[in-house]
């Protein structure tokens, strides 16, 4: 069965367009605020139109997030959607129609055809490159379609957090040769029940797609073409396509120093990618890599927490909510599937935090607090250092 036939039978992820009436699926990459932070230093002029390519858009999560966020912000955009699955495309189209969004053009096409549609300021490609017979061709095609000052958001599978997946994919593939998609699904579910509890897949706590829907089960365990990337392999794939990383999300999960006990230091001369590669091995639970990338010749722009014109945005909590936790406990707790991260923030920063609304620049925040420049910079610097590595704080002028 071809990959196109698979996604026509089981479009992924499973989505009901009617659900657009009650929720917006948010995620990384491809939220405009996050894009701005990692790709444009938090300084993009959103009043200028942005050309976006959603390459291998599936049932439309990234597409809808992009179009709805920019529409709500009343900012100009043009989005081109590509996917080989007509069924997935129909669902994506229905979701856009349900929200009455515009300026989206749909094409039944491969991401390998991306350069044929022009150049783009931003390219989203999530969960697609690792399913290509020659993934490097996909990286090159996307690179060729990216404008010199643009950037892209990618998601590819990672090996260690998907422990057990590839053994089962191989076994199920052998057992289900010549079967229809529905018969393969039936077989896979039956055999998985008989797999011993000691199997690495059944002991893997981070994999849940197979429990959510038939499409999730098929995509995870019955896929006929699927290769994961380590950090090092992904960085090399980007290099071969004349691209380079602008940021892995969340950065903290790839920070080797956070994983080393006192008295153990990284070897002298170890570069950042090598250190991240070791961190990935030590952590052992990363199942996908989310990375922002830019052309190799382009500078990587970092948001500056000392820039009075930088506009901060909190991700999980609104400013007043976060400020309440900071004032009371001096910390916030982030719960992930595999770990709990405790982020310490100075209680004295609660006043600043309470005023963050995604519209007010840091300079104006300082004036409202009445704090002198040195104290404000010190307190905000500690907030920045605690939250940015966990992607809980971004900078963007999207709403200004």
Look up the CATH number of domain 312-395. 3.90.930
In this prediction, residue 261 carries a pLDDT of 96
Classify 391 in phi/psi space as left (phi over 0), alpha (psi -120 to 50) or beta: left
- CATH fold for domain 3-157+229-295: Rossmann fold (3.40.50)
For residue 48 the two structure tokens come to 């200028």
Q: pLDDT, tens digit, for every residue of 301-352?
A: 999 999 999 999 999 999 999 999 999 999 999 998 778 999 999 999 999 9
Q: pLDDT, tens digit, for every residue of 99-145?
A: 999 999 999 999 999 999 999 999 999 999 999 999 999 999 999 99
- The answer to whether 3 touches 265, Cβ cutoff 8 Å, is no
In this prediction, residue 124 carries a pLDDT of 99
- The answer to whether 194 touches 231, Cβ cutoff 8 Å, is no
Phi, psi (5° rounding) for residue 305? Answer: -70, -5
Phi, psi (5° rounding) for residue 336? Answer: -110, 170
- The answer to whether 37 touches 389, Cβ cutoff 8 Å, is no
Closest alpha carbon to 154 in 336, 288, 316: 288
Distance CA 266, CA 282 (A): 13
Distance CA 222, CA 169 (A): 5
Q: Where are the domains of the chain?
A: 3-157+229-295, 161-221, 312-395
Phi, psi (5° rounding) for residue 82? Answer: -125, 135
Distance CA 262, CA 259 (A): 10
CA distances, 354 to each of 160, 167, 216, 383 (Å): 39, 49, 40, 12
Distance CA 295, CA 144 (A): 10
In this prediction, residue 251 carries a pLDDT of 97
Q: How far is CA 387 from the centre of its chain?
A: 17
- The answer to whether 231 touches 289, Cβ cutoff 8 Å, is yes
In this prediction, residue 4 carries a pLDDT of 84
- The answer to whether 16 touches 217, Cβ cutoff 8 Å, is no
The one-digit pLDDT tens for each residue of the chain (400 residues) are 678 888 989 999 999 999 999 999 999 999 999 999 999 999 999 999 999 999 999 999 999 999 999 999 999 999 999 999 999 999 999 999 999 999 999 999 999 999 999 999 999 999 999 999 999 999 999 999 999 999 999 999 999 999 999 999 999 999 999 999 999 999 999 999 999 999 999 999 999 999 999 999 999 999 999 999 999 999 999 999 999 999 999 999 999 999 999 999 999 999 999 999 999 999 999 999 999 999 999 999 999 999 999 999 999 999 999 999 999 999 999 998 778 999 999 999 999 999 999 999 999 999 999 999 999 999 999 999 999 999 999 999 999 7
For residue 342 the two structure tokens come to 């405790």
Distance CA 277, CA 293 (A): 17
For residue 309 the two structure tokens come to 């014109």
Distance CA 15, CA 271 (A): 41
Distance CA 147, CA 357 (A): 31
Closest alpha carbon to 299 in 140, 145, 154, 150: 150
CA distances, 16 to each of 26, 68, 98, 114, 218 (Å): 15, 17, 10, 27, 18
> Could you identify the residue written with the tokens 């089962």?
168
Q: Say yes or no: do domains 3-157+229-295 and 312-395 share a fold.
A: no
Closest alpha carbon to 50 in 77, 72, 69: 77
Which run of H or E residues covers position 126?
strand 120-126
Over 157-181, what HEC string results?
Answer: ECCHHHCCHHHHHHHHHHHCCCCCH
In this prediction, residue 339 carries a pLDDT of 84
For residue 214 the two structure tokens come to 């038939």
């Amino acid at each position: 069965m071809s990959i196109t036939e698979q996604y026509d039978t089981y479009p992924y992820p499973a989505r009901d367009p009617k659900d657009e009436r009650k929720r917006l699926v948010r995620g990384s990459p491809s939220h405009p605020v996050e894009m701005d932070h990692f790709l444009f230093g938090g300084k993009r002029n959103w009043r200028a139109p942005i050309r976006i390519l959603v390459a291998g858009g599936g049932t439309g999560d990234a597409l809808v997030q992009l179009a709805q966020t920019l529409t709500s912000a009343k900012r100009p955009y043009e989005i081109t959607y590509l996917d080989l699955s007509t069924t997935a495309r129909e669902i994506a189209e229905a979701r856009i129609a349900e929200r009455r969004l515009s300026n989206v053009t749909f094409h039944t096409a491969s991401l390998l055809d991306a350069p044929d549609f022009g150049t783009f300021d931003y390219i989203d490609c999530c969960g697609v490159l690792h399913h290509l017979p020659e993934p490097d061709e996909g990286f090159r095609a996307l690179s060729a379609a990216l404008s010199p000052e643009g950037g892209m958001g990618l998601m590819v599978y990672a090996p260690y957090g998907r422990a057990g997946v590839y053994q089962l994919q191989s076994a199920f593939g052998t057992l289900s040769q010549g079967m229809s998609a529905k018969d393969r699904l039936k077989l896979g579910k039956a055999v998985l029940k008989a797999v011993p509890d000691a199997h690495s897949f059944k002991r893997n706590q981070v994999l849940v797609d197979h429990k959510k829907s038939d499409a999730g089960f098929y995509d995870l365990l019955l896929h006929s073409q699927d290769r994961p990337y380590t950090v090092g392999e992904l960085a090399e794939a980007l290099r071969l396509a004349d691209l380079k990383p602008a940021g892995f999300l969340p950065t903290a999960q790839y920070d080797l120093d956070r994983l080393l006990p006192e008295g153990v230091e990284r070897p002298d001369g170890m570069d950042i990618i090598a250190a991240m590669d070791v961190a990935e091995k030590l952590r052992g639970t990363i199942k996908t890599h989310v990375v922002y990338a830019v052309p190799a010749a382009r500078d990587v722009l970092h948001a500056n927490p000392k820039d009075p014109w930088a506009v901060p945005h909190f991700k999980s909590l609104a400013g007043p909510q976060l400020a309440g936790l900071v004032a009371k406990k001096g910390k916030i707790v982030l719960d992930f599937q595999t770990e709990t991260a405790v982020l310490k923030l100075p209680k004295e920063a609660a006043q600043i935090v309470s005023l963050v609304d995604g519209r007010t620049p840091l300079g104006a925040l300082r004036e409202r607090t009445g704090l002198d420049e040195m104290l404000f910079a010190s307190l905000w610097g500690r907030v920045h250092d605690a939250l940015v590595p966990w992607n809980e704080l971004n900078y963007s002028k999207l709403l200004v």
